[in-house]
C-alpha cells in the first residue's frame, strides 16, 4: 500500500477544517524548502535540512512576531534568547540533526551575506532532532551548502512529507518518523484565520501512540513490528549514544498563523503544540527535545521604523487558535508517520513505516472508520 | 446510579498501576483537608476551601522542594515567585474561589501564627478557580476561619471528591466538576515511587471531553444535557462576569511525589499536568487558569541548616514519573467528574453531573468496556 | 534639618532630565493613593497601603500593557501569572505588608464590585514588603477598608514620600526607608517619553549604600548610627521573624511610561529596575523580594474589541527608556530615604532617618557637591 | 604605560577579598583556553575562541550544575534550553564571534567525538559577541580547528586577559574591550567559597562608564579619545551592520563557584552578573546580548547514576555569594579594559585602550586613590 496522508486513509482527527493544502503553506507567504542527504558509502547517512521561510526575502528587514515554548528541553533551538527578548523573527527557521545544528545556524547568516541581504538580523533560529540511530551522525555530514540548498528550494503550495529534509532519519513512536505538516482554519471575531504546523517528529514510545484516541500503538506491539530503538546496538549497550529505549528522541514543531498576534500571544500559541503532541501520545520523555516555535505573519515590523502600527487579536479569540494549533500539530505528526517510508540505516538498524492497512483496520475495530 | 470513581465503573485510563488509595494521599505524609460552604440564603453560596499539606506541622521549618508551571495563566496561584526563586515549599497549599484567594493566602500565615509555629515562611501558595456561575461570588463568602477549618481537618487516607472544599462550585466540560484525585506507582532505577494528583477541575468544552480517547463529550451533546455555561445569564449577556461559553474556567493541579526530586525536576513534573489535561480534552482556553504545582517529599530541607544533603533522581528516571504525573492528572479530573453531583446554584443555574450509565454505554460502544 | 527630596539637597543622580514633578505621576493619567495606619496601642502598628492607578476608573475594561521581573523572588506580587500570559493590566496595583497582601489583593476586586465596575478583570496585582521589624505584623492590621481608602484617595500631581502608605514601616540600607518616586524624560525616535518609578524600599545593607557612586553607607557606619536590623531582637535571636541582618527585606518597583510598548517590551523595562537598584547598592539579598512591574499607558486595549490597533516602539528606542527606568528607580529609592523620618516601632526598635547634612558633607568630600 | 590589571593600578573595587589568582581559575578544576586569530590579509581579522572547562576531561560524563540568565537577549548562547530543563552542564563553554558561534557549538561535540569521549552530552553551550566592527566578520573566519585549539590549550592558574581568544575584537564602553577575569572569596555558614568570573566585554556607552562609582567615562569624553562606534562607517551609515552608536554590543559572563549549589541556585547566581555589570555602567542596551551562565563544581552528577547525592547550600548563604558574583563580574570587566590594547581593525577602525594614567588621575580627583 502506497504511503498516504492521514485523511487520504479516511481518518480524520480534530474538529476544525483544514486549509486547502492542509499544510503550513496554507498560511499566506510561508514557504518550505528541503535538502536531503542519503548515502550508503563511505558512511551511511540519512539526514538533511528543512527550512521554513515565514515570508519572502524581505524577512531580513521586515520581521514577523514569534514566541517559543520548551516542553522538554533536551534539545537545541538557537535564537530563543532573542525571540524571548524581542519577539521578532527575521530569518528562515532551519531544522536538521543534533550535531550539525550550529552549522545550519551559521549558514542562515552566511546565506544572507551571500545574497547581499542586509545583515542586521544575525541571530537565526535553528533546531535539531537526533538521527544518530539511522545515520552516522559523527561524520558531521551537513555542510553550509546543504542548508543553502534547502533555503533556495523553498516553495509554497504542496510540500513533501516523511523521509525528507531534516526529517530523513527520524523515528516516531518506534516507527519511521519524519517531517509532517497540517493546517486548520479557525474563526475568531468574525474573521477566518489559518494555523499551520510543520513538525520534525522523532520521539515517542510505541505503547503510547494514539490516533484520534484509539490505542494504535498497543495494537501493534514491538513483537509484531520491531522497534529501531530496542535490541542490539542501543544506548546503554555501550556501542553508541542515542535516544534511550524509554522513547527518547525529540520533536520540533513550527506553528505559523496569519492571525494578528503579538509576541506574547505567539508564546501562548507555541505552548499548544504540547496539547497536540499529547493527543498522539507524546509525554515529553526525559531524553526528548520537545521545542516549539510559533510565528504570526499577521503583523510585520519593518526594521528602522520608529513606531510600528500592529494589531492584536482579542484574548478571547485565542481559544479557537489554540484548538487549531493543537489539531494541526496532532495531524502533522500523524502525516509524518503515514508518509514516511521504511528505512534501513547505519549498522542495519531498520525503522519500519507505520503499516497503513493495519492502521485502518484498528481504526475500524474501534469504530472510527 | 450512585456517584462512583472511574475505576469503580470498570473504566481504566493509563498504563501504570495506581497506589493503594489511588489518591494523592498515597504519597507518604501528604494530607488533605476540606471546608465546604453551601447556603441558599441570604445568598446562594457553593464554595469552599481545600488544603493540601505536603507533610506534618513541621513543614513550616522543614521544607519540601517544589516547582510550578502555568499552562494558561488566566488565574492566580500566589507564592510562585518564591517557588521559582528558591524551589522550597514550607506551608500547606490552599485552593478556593477566585475572589477569596487572597484571604486564604493570608489565612495560611495567620494559622501558623495562631499555632505558635515559627513564622519564617510567610509566602504561602494559594490558588483559585472561578465558581461565580454557581455561587454568589461577589459576597466574598470565604473567611479566614473557613481556611483554618480546612487546615485543621486535613487527613491522610481516603479523601472526599466531587462537590467538596474548593471544588464545591466547579464546572468541568460543561458538566458538574469539582475536586478529584488519583495516583500512580512508577518504577525508576529499580525503585518504586508514587506520584499523586489532586485537581480542582473547572474548565473545558463539552465537545472536547474524552475518556481514554473516547469522544464522550461529542456523544452527550448540549441538546441532550444542557450546559451551565450556555444560554441565559452568561458572560457577554451582560448580567454577570464569568467563564466564557468557549469553555473558560480553570484547573488547578497539585502533584506530589516521594521520588527525590530537585526543584528544577519538580518544575518538569508540574509541566506534565498539561499532558494529562490534554488527554481529557483540556486545551487551555483563553479564559482558563491552568496552573500546576508539583512537590517532592523525597527531600526535606531544614531551615537554618548550613548545608543540606539532598538526593537527585537520575534524569532518565524522570520519564516514568512524567507518565505517572500525566496519568494521575487525567484520572483525577475524571474522578472529579464522576464523583461530583448535580448542583443547582445561584440564579437557578444547574450543572448536571456526568451521567455514569451513559458514560459506560459510550465506552462500550467504542469497545473499551 | 527638614526632610527633603534628593534634588532639593543639590544632589543629582543620572544623566537624563526628570519630568516636571519628578514623580510617577508625570506619566499622563497615573494616580497614586495612600492609606497609612499608625497606632501605639493596643499594638504598635506602622503599616499602610499604597495604590497605583495606571489610569482612570475605566482601567477595569480599558487595559494597559504590562510586564514584570523578579530579580529576587523572596516576596509576593500577585497577578503575575496573568501578566505573563496576557500582558494586560486592568486594575490598580496595591502595595502593603507581607501578611496582609492577600487582603489587599481581594480588596481590589471588592472595590470594583462595590463601585459597580465591570468585574471582568479579577486577577489584581498586589505586592508586599515586610514591616514586621517596626510594626506588630502578626495582628494582621490591614483590612479591606484601608485598601479602599488608598484607592479612593488616589491623585495625580504631587504625591507624598517617605513614611506613607505601604512604605510606613520600611527600612532601607539599615536607615528608615519607605515610599519614593522619580521620573525621567527620554527621547527616542524624535519623540519625548516619560518613565516614572514608584518604589517601596525595604532592603539593603548599610555598607553597600551608594549615592551617585559615592560610598555613603561606608561613611556612616553602624557604630555611628545604629541599625534597626542588628542587635537584640533580631531574626536568629529567636524572638521574632524578620529580615536577616545580612540586609534582607525587599523592594517593590512600579514603572510607568507613556511610550507605546508591547507587553514583551514592558517586561524588558521592568528588568531595568535591577540596574537602578544596583546603583544604590541593592544586590538582591537572599531574603529580599525584589519584584518589579512596568506598564505602558501608550496603548490601551478595550475589553471585547475583536482586534486592537496598538503601537510598538522600535527596539532601538528602548535603550533610552532603559536608562530612564534605571535612573528613575535609583532616584526614587533615594527619595524614599531622604524623605523618610526616624521611626520608633514595635518593641522600641528604632529606624533612623538618613542624616541629610551628613549626606551632603560626604558628597562634598567625594567632589560631588 | 604598560597594560595592567586593575589592582596593579592601585584601584580596588568591591568589599570582598579576591582569590589568590583573582581569576575564574581560582575555582578548583576550572581551566581556560584561548585561540586567537589576527590577520591583516586577505581580510582583516580580529577574532578568536575562548573555552572555559568547568572541570577535567571527565566533564563529559560527570556533570556540574548550571543555570543561566539573559538580562538582555540580543545575542546567542546555545544550550540554554537544556540548562533550563536539566540544570546540568557536561561540556566546556565556548565563546566566540556572532557569525561563527554555531561552528564553535558543533566543534565542542566534534572534539568529544575525536577524543573518544562518550558522546552522551551533545547540547553544548557556546556564546558570542559581535566583533564585526574591528574584524571582517562576513568571512566566517573561525573554523572548528580553532575551537579545538582553544580546547586543547586550556590551563588552570594564571590566564591571559584583554585582546585574547573570543575577546580579540571587542569594544567596551567605546574603548578597547576584551576578555577579563576576577574572583572573590565569600564566607557562608562558616565555610569559605570562591566565586570566579570570566567576561567577554563588548558593550556600553562611554558616558556611563564608572570605576568604583567614579564617572570615568564622563571624564574622558569622545572628543578627547574617539570612539570606534561613532563617526564614519557606523551602522545606520549603510556600509556595515554592527552595534548601534547608543552603546550596543554585548557581554557574556561566565560565573564559577565551588559552593555546593543546586541548578536553581546557579540561576540565582547568574542573575547577579547584572549587578556587577550595572556597577561598571552597563544598562543592557537594546542591541546588547547580555547573557550570563553560572556553574557550580561543588556538586558532580555522574551520568547513569540512579540517584545522586548532592549538597545544597542554605538559602541565606546565597547573599554572600551574590555579592561575590557581582564584585567578580565588575572587576573582570574592568580587567578586560585595563588589559586590552589599542587595536586598529577592519577599514581602519581604531579602538583605543582605556588610558591607565588618566584612569588613575581621575580616581585621585574623586578621592579614591
* Tens-digit pLDDT string for chain C (369 aa): 899 999 999 999 999 999 999 999 999 999 999 999 999 999 999 999 999 999 999 999 999 999 999 999 999 999 999 999 999 999 999 999 999 999 999 999 999 999 988 766 589 999 999 999 999 999 999 999 999 999 999 999 999 999 999 999 999 999 999 999 999 999 988 899 999 999 999 999 999 999 999 999 999 999 999 999 886 434 433 333 333 444 458 999 999 999 999 999 999 999 999 999 999 999 999 999 999 999 999 999 999 999 999 999 999 999 999 999 999 999 999 999 999 999 999 999 999 999 999 999 999 999 999
> Is A179 exposed, middle or buried, given 0-12, 13-18 or 19+ CB atoms closer than 10 A?
buried
Cα(B312)–Cα(D142) distance, integer angstroms = 39
B313–D311 C-beta distance less than 8 A: no
Is residue B106 a part of any domain in this protein? yes
Read off the C-alpha cell for D63: 556533570
Statement: residue D220 has pLDDT above 70? yes
**B68 vs B52: CA distance, rounded Å:** 15
User: With 70 as the cut, is the pLDDT of residue D242 above it?
Assistant: no
Taking the complete model, does pTM exceed 0.90, yes or no? Answer: yes
Extract the C-alpha cell encoding C43: 499594638
C contacts of B122 (beta carbons < 8 Å) = 98-99, 130, 241
Query: Is D314 in CB contact (< 8 Å) with chain B?
Result: yes
3-state helix, strand, coil in chain D (%, to 5): 30, 30, 40
D72 within domain boundaries: yes
pLDDT at B238 over 70: no
- Beta strand C288-302 with C62-73 is antiparallel
Number of domain units in chain D: 1
Which of A272, A286, A323 lies closest to B315 in CB terms? A286
Identify any residues that bridge with C182 across adjacent strands, giving them in sequence order.
C197
What's the grid cell of residue A235? 544506548
**Which of B68, B135, B288, B296 does the annotation list as catalytic?**
B288
Distance CA C53, CA B65 (A): 37
Answer whether D73 sits within 8 Å of A79, measured CB to CB.
no
**pLDDT value for A231:** 62
Is B296 among the catalytic positions? Answer: no
Q: What's the rounded mean pLDDT across residues D22-37?
A: 98
Task: Please list every residue in chain D whose beta carbon sits closer than 8 Å to the beta carbon of residue C72.
Answer: 268, 271
Given the residues B250, B258, B285, B296, select the one marked as catalytic. B250
C88: chain A residues, CB-CB within 8 Å: 315
B78 touching chain C per CB within 8 A = yes
Give which of C188, C190, C267, C307 to mutate to test A binding, by max A Cβ within 10 Å. Answer: C307
Instruction: For chain A, say whether B211 makes contact (Cβ under 8 Å).
Output: no
Q: Does D155 touch chain B (CB under 8 A)?
A: no
**pLDDT tens digit string along B22-50?**
999 999 999 999 999 999 999 999 999 99
Of all helices (H) and strands (E), which one includes residue A271?
A: helix A263-271
Nearest to D314 by CA among B120, B255, C203, B109: B120
Q: Quote the CA–CA distance of A64 and A300 in Å, as a whole number.
A: 5
Q: Residue A94: which residues within 8 A CB-CB, separation 6 or more?
A: A49, A50, A51, A101, A104, A105, A107, A108, A124, A125, A126, A127, A147, A150, A166
Asked if D76's CB is within 8 angstroms of A291's CB, the reply is no
- Residues of D catalogued as catalytic: 250, 288, 290
DSSP state of D23: S
In chain B, which among 42-71 make CB contacts under 8 A with chain C? 70
Share of chain C above pLDDT 70, in %: 94
β-partners of residue B67 are B294
Q: Which grid cell sits at C307?
A: 482586534
Task: Calculate the average pLDDT of chain B.
Answer: 94
Query: Which of B284, B286, B317 is the closest to A316 by Cβ?
Result: B286
Q: How far apart are the C-alpha atoms of D132 and D97, rounded to whole Å?
A: 8
**Residue D312 to residue B314, Cβ atoms within 8 A:** no
Mean pLDDT of the region A353-365: 98
List of E strands, chain D: 31-39, 45-53, 62-73, 88-89, 93-97, 126-129, 171-172, 175-176, 178-188, 191-202, 250-257, 289-302, 307-313, 343-344, 350-351
User: What three-state secondary structure class fits C154?
Assistant: coil
Residues of B in contact with C106 (CB under 8 A): 99-103, 140
**Who contacts D197 (Cβ-Cβ below 8 Å, separation ≥6)?**
D24, D181, D182, D183, D253, D254, D255, D256, D273, D276, D325, D328, D329, D331, D332
- Count Cβ–Cβ pairs < 8 Å, chain A vs chain B: 97
B160 found inside a domain:
yes
Residue D258 has pLDDT above 50, yes or no: yes
Our CA-based measurement puts residue A126 at a distance from the nearest CA of chain C, in whole angstroms, of: 22
Rounded to whole angstroms, the Cα distance separating A173 from A203 reads 6
B101 with C106: Cβ contact below 8 A: yes
Question: What pLDDT was estimated at residue D120?
Answer: 60
For chain D, percent of residues with pLDDT exceeding 70:
94
Contacting residues of A for B72, CB less than 8 Å apart: 268, 271
pLDDT value at B269 more than 70: yes
CB proximity B337 to C under 8 Å: no
- Reading the block at residue A13, the C-alpha cell is 482527527
Q: Is D195 helix (H, G, I), strand (E, B) or coil?
A: strand
**Active-site residue numbers of A?**
250, 288, 290
Candidates B52, B339, B34, B298; CA nearest to B198 is: B52
In a domain, D4, yes or no: no
Q: Tell me if chain D has a CB within 8 Å of the CB of C312.
A: no
Q: Identify whether B332 is part of a domain.
A: yes
Q: Establish if B157 touches chain C: CB-CB under 8 angstroms.
A: no
Report the pLDDT value the prediction gives residue B337, as an integer from 0 to 100: 98
Residues D262-316 have pLDDT tens digits of 999 999 999 999 999 999 999 999 999 999 999 999 999 999 999 999 999 999 9
* CB-based contact D312 B304, cutoff 8 Å: no
Of C77, C82, C100, the CB nearest to B73: C82
Nearest residue in chain B measured CA to CA from C138: B113
* Closest CB from D71, D207, D282 relative to C15: D207
Mean per-residue pLDDT for A329-345? 98
Whether the per-residue pLDDT at A243 is higher than 90: the answer is no
Please report the pLDDT score of residue C230 as a whole number.
Answer: 85
| Mean pLDDT rounded to a whole number for chain D | 94
CB-nearest partner of C306 from A190, A264, A304: A190
pLDDT greater than 90 at residue A119: no
How confident is the model over B109-131, as a mean pLDDT? 88
Tell me, yes or no, if C317 comes closer than 8 A to chain D by beta carbon. yes
The domain containing residue A197 runs over which residues? 15-365
How does C207-235 read in b/e, with b if 16+ C-beta sit within 10 Å? bbbbbbbbbbbebbeeeebebbbeeebbb
Q: Which of C147, C110, C101 is nearest to C128 (CA)?
A: C101
Q: Running DSSP on this structure, what letter comes out for residue A98?
A: S
- Whether D247 has a pLDDT exceeding 60, the answer reads no
Collect all residues of chain A within an 8 Å Cβ-Cβ radius of residue C305. 314
d(Cα B85, Cα B94) in Å, to the nearest integer? 20
B320, three cell numbers: 516514568
Residue D116: its pLDDT value, please? 87
CATH number, domain of B176, equals 3.60.70.12
Contact by Cβ (8 Å): B266, D91: no
The catalytic residue among C68, C183, C227, C288 is C288
Report pLDDT for C231.
62
Contact criterion met (CB < 8 Å) for A74 and D84: no
Check residue D249 and give its pLDDT: 84
Does residue B329 form part of some domain?
yes
In a mutagenesis test of the C interface, which of B106, B148, B288 is the best target, namely the one with the most C β-carbons within 10 Å? B106
Q: Which residues of B touch D263 (CB under 8 A)?
A: 262-264
Closest chain A C-alpha to B149 CA, distance in angstroms: 37
**Which of C308, C311, C316, C322 should be substituted to probe chain A, the one whose Cβ sees the most A Cβ atoms within 10 Å?**
C308
What number is the average pLDDT over the span B173-198?
A: 96
- Is A304 an interface residue toward C (CB < 8 Å)? yes
Torsion of CA D256, D257, D262, D265, to 10 degrees: -80
Residue among A270, D244, A278, D68 nearest C319 (CA): D244
Q: Stretch A246-261: mean pLDDT, rounded? A: 88
3-state secondary structure of B300: strand
Closest residue on chain D to C69 (Cα): D71
Taking alpha carbons only, the member of B170, B199, B185 closest to residue B333 is: B199
Q: Lowest mean pLDDT of B229-238, C73-82, D67-76, D186-195, name the range.
A: B229-238
Please report which confidence band the pLDDT of residue D193 belongs to, taking 50, 70 and 90 as the band edges: very high
Quick check: B311 contacting D, CB < 8 Å? Answer: yes
Give per-residue pLDDT as tens, C56-107.
999 999 999 999 999 999 999 999 999 999 999 999 999 999 999 999 999 9
Determine, yes or no, domain membership for D295. Answer: yes
* Distance (Å) from the alpha carbon of C72 to chain B's nearest alpha carbon: 7
- CB-based contact D99:D139 (threshold 8 Å): no
Catalytic residue among C250, C258, C285, C296: C250
Instruction: Answer whether B365 sits within 8 Å of A367, measured CB to CB.
Output: yes
Residues in chain B: 369
By C-alpha distance, the chain C residue nearest A262 is C262
In a domain, B169, yes or no: yes
Nearest to A102 among D70, D77, D106 (CB): D106
Per-residue pLDDT, averaged over B224-239, amounts to: 63
Amino acid at each position: 500500500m502506497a504511503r498516504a496522508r492521514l485523511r487520504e486513509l479516511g481518518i480524520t482527527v480534530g474538529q476544525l477544517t483544514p486549509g486547502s493544502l492542509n499544510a503550513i503553506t496554507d498560511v499566506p507567504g510561508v514557504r518550505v524548502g528541503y535538502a536531503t542527504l542519503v548515502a550508503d558509502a563511505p558512511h551511511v547517512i540519512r539526514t538533511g535540512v528543512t527550512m521554513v521561510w515565514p515570508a519572502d526575502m524581505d524577512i531580513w528587514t521586515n520581521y514577523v512576531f514569534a514566541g517559543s515554548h520548551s516542553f522538554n528541553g533536551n534539545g537545541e533551538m538557537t535564537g530563543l534568547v532573542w525571540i524571548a527578548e524581542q519577539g521578532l523573527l527575521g530569518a528562515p527557521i532551519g531544522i536538521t540533526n543534533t550535531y550539525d545544528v550550529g552549522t545550519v545556524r551559521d549558514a542562515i547568516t552566511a546565506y544572507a551575506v551571500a545574497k547581499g541581504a542586509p545583515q542586521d538580523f544575525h541571530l537565526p533560529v535553528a533546531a535539531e532532532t537526533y538521527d544518530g540511530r539511522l545515520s552516522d551522525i559523527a561524520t558531521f555530514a551537513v555542510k553550509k551548502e546543504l542548508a543553502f540548498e534547502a533555503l533556495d528550494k523553498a516553495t509554497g503550495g504542496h510540500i513533501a512529507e516523511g523521509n525528507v529534509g531534516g526529517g530523513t532519519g527520524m523515528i516516531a513512536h518506534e516507527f519511521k518518523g519524519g517531517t509532517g505538516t497540517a493546517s486548520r482554519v479557525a474563526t475568531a471575531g468574525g474573521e477566518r484565520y489559518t494555523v499551520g504546523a510543520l513538525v520534525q517528529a522523532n520521539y515517542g514510545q510505541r505503547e503510547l501512540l494514539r490516533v484520534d484516541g484509539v490505542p494504535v500503538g498497543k495494537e501493534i506491539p514491538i513483537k509484531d513490528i520491531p522497534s529501531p530503538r530496542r535490541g542490539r546496538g542501543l544506548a546503554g549497550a555501550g556501542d553508541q549514544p542515542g535516544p534511550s529505549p524509554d522513547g527518547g528522541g525529540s520533536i520540533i514543531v513550527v506553528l505559523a498563523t496569519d492571525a494578528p498576534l503579538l509576541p506574547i500571544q505567539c508564546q501562548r500559541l507555541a505552548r499548544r503544540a504540547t496539547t497536540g503532541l499529547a493527543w498522539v501520545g507524546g509525554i515529553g520523555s526525559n531524553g526528548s527535545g520537545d521545542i516549539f516555535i510559533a510565528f504570526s505573519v499577521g503583523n510585520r515590523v519593518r526594521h528602522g521604523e520608529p513606531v510600528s502600527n500592529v494589531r492584536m487579536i482579542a484574548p478571547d479569540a485565542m481559544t479557537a487558535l489554540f484548538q487549531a494549533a493543537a489539531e494541526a500539530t496532532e495531524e502533522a505528526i500523524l502525516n509524518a508517520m503515514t508518509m514516511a517510508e521504511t528505512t534501513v540505516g547505519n549498522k542495519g538498524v531498520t525503522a519500519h513505516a507505520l503499516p497503513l492497512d493495519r492502521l485502518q483496520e484498528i481504526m475500524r475495530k474501534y469504530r472510527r472508520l
